[in-house]
Amino acid sequence: MPPSLDASEAAALALDRADPLAHCREWFHIPPARAAWAGDAGGASSQTGSHAVDADAPSIYLVGNSLGCQPRSVRPAIEQELLDWERLGVEAHLHAKHPWLPYHEELRDPAARLVGALPAEVCMMNSLTVNLHLLMASFYRPTRERFRIVIEDAAFPSDSYAAASQAAFHGFDPAAAVVRLKPREGEHTLRTEDTAALLEREGASVALVLLGGVNYLTGQWFDMEAITAAGRRAGAVVGWDLAHAAGNVPLRLHDWGADFAAWCTYKYLNSGPGAVAGAFVHERHLARADLVQFAGWWGNDPGTRFKMGPEFVPRHTADRWALSNPPIFSLTPVRESLAIFDRVGMAALREKSLKLTGYLESLLDTLPAGRVSSLTPRETARRGCALSLVFHRGSRDAFSELKRHGVICDFREPNVIRAAPVPLYNTFHDVWRFVDIVRGVVG
């Protein structure tokens, strides 16, 4: 146990009282403990240590890395759009409280601030994998000599599918075209120097580097700046999947020089299941006339869009990759979420996140040795707010026990339980209660 750690429940409650972001929790609906038992045949209450679980009390919700909690402002915001549709019909495109015609442009500035981009470099559109395919259509242009795509071996499956199918679409064998980065023997995470060395050694054959900014399975935050620089030195295009990075860690996509990126908004960005995603394209590409792309009318210059002609005149912004008019009811939660991030700021959220995960890690260190280990790097600069835990007497059984005690986290094959105390709505007491339950599960 660290000498400065007070592992008591009273200390956790004191940390919450001193937390300048504690009030943010009131902006969200926290699912009740009974949600953890959905689909189970067990009773409506359980017991952990001396603490009975109240089915209607807030759960210990540690799965914001999979689906964020609903902001309380979302329901009235959607109802406003429904009311405008009811009262105005098609005229709501111009005269709604938030006019529908330029609706996605209202999200441009806050989205850019979130990922460290210029406003022209971002567009909220589609879903994550759709955006990856649209961007790869432009930026993965393989040749006989330079055709390989570098991804991490533990990439999210959809990224693996996208990379392999893009290679096959261009006539290459995915087994030869897709290079999967693996950790060193006995390690769980990738080393930046190994990735850079591979790109230096084999970069002449690499067309695209496509990594997750934060790996979904291990929680590792890659050194995005260094890897982007290494990829570009090798002559490759560098793209990032920010599904587990956007809203989790501070990003500076423009300054780091990434060619493109895409992210979903239903995890840390709390915008609801299947919410509209985001895309980034660096400004150096926005006016390029040589880019091949799939085109749709919302990517056309607004000055000629409604002349209804057959010629596509691309916007010199990330909007040029947008295909269709914005889905208003799906974008509304994204607008509400981005407003929250603007109000609080990523610097403050990152500061609390480091404290929460550090506290979680320190409490886990007090457990008997050999019971629970973490795949996530201990260095704070190499992780976001999720820890990926392995329970050595069986993670799957432990996961069931955690649910029975009102904990909502998630299980990933083969043996990983991910616990993510997110700074907007999780508390130090959430973390303390979680480890108190874990102590009973493993001991």
Q: Residue 103: is its pLDDT beyond 60? A: yes
In a domain, 113, yes or no: yes
- Chain segment 364-394, per-residue pLDDT in tens: 999 999 999 999 999 999 999 999 999 998 9
> 140 and 260: one domain?
yes
CA distance 183 to 170: 29
- Chain segment 313-334, per-residue pLDDT in tens: 999 999 999 999 999 999 999 9
> 202 and 282: one domain?
yes
Mean pLDDT of the chain: 95
**In the block, which residue shows the tokens 């005229």?**
91
- Position 393 scores a pLDDT of 87
In a domain, 57, yes or no: yes
In a domain, 89, yes or no: yes
Q: Residue 45: is its pLDDT beyond 80? A: no
> 169 and 316: one domain?
yes
Sequence-separated (6 or more) residues with CB below 8 Å from residue 244: 65, 212, 213, 214, 215, 216, 219, 267, 268, 384, 386
In a domain, 1, yes or no: no
Considering 327, 343, 359, which residue would you say is the last residue of a domain? 343
Considering 315, 343, 371, which residue would you say is the last residue of a domain? 343
Per-residue b/e over 346-377, b at no fewer than 16 CB within 10 Å?
Answer: beebbebbbbbbebbbbbbbeeeeebbebbbb
Domain of residue 222, CATH code: 3.40.640.10
In a domain, 71, yes or no: no
> 281 and 356: one domain?
no
> 289 and 410: one domain?
no
> 44 and 133: one domain?
no
Q: Do β-strands 46-48 and 51-53 pair in parallel, antiparallel, or remain unpaired?
A: antiparallel
Q: Count of domains in the chain?
A: 2
Q: Using pLDDT thresholds of 50, 70 and 90, give the confidence band for residue 413.
A: very high
Q: Using pLDDT thresholds of 50, 70 and 90, give the confidence band for residue 42.
A: very low
Sequence-separated (6 or more) residues with CB below 8 Å from residue 391: 371, 372, 397, 398, 415, 417, 441, 442
- Chain segment 126-163, per-residue pLDDT in tens: 999 999 999 999 999 999 999 999 999 999 999 999 99
> 336 and 350: one domain?
no
Considering 343, 358, 393, which residue would you say is the last residue of a domain? 343
CA distance 202 to 233: 12
Quote the domain boundaries for residue 380: 9-61+345-442
Beta bridge partners of 269: none
Span 261-276, average pLDDT: 97
- Position 53 scores a pLDDT of 79
**Which of 308, 305, 142, 272 lies closest to 210, judged by CA?**
142
Q: Residue 50: is its pLDDT beyond 60? A: no
> 184 and 287: one domain?
yes
Beta bridge partners of 7: none
Q: Mark out the alpha helices in 234-282 (DSSP H runs).
A: 253-256
Q: Using pLDDT thresholds of 50, 70 and 90, give the confidence band for residue 255.
A: very high
Question: In the structure encoding, which two tokens stand for residue 441, read together?
Answer: 């599960």
> 359 and 369: one domain?
yes
> 339 and 434: one domain?
no
In a domain, 4, yes or no: no
Question: In the structure encoding, which two tokens stand for residue 276, read together?
Answer: 């509209």
Q: Quote the Cα angle for 340-81-246, to 5°.
A: 30
- Position 4 scores a pLDDT of 79
Q: Are 281 and 258 in contact (CB under 8 A)?
A: no
In a domain, 66, yes or no: no
What is the 8-class DSSP label of residue 265? S
Q: Are 427 and 30 in contact (CB under 8 A)?
A: no
> 300 and 226: one domain?
yes
CA distance 236 to 230: 9
> 141 and 170: one domain?
yes
What's the start-to-end Cα distance of the chain, in Å? Answer: 17
In a domain, 2, yes or no: no
pLDDT: is 50 or 193 the higher one? 193
Span 297-301, average pLDDT: 92
Domain of residue 41, CATH code: 3.90.1150.10
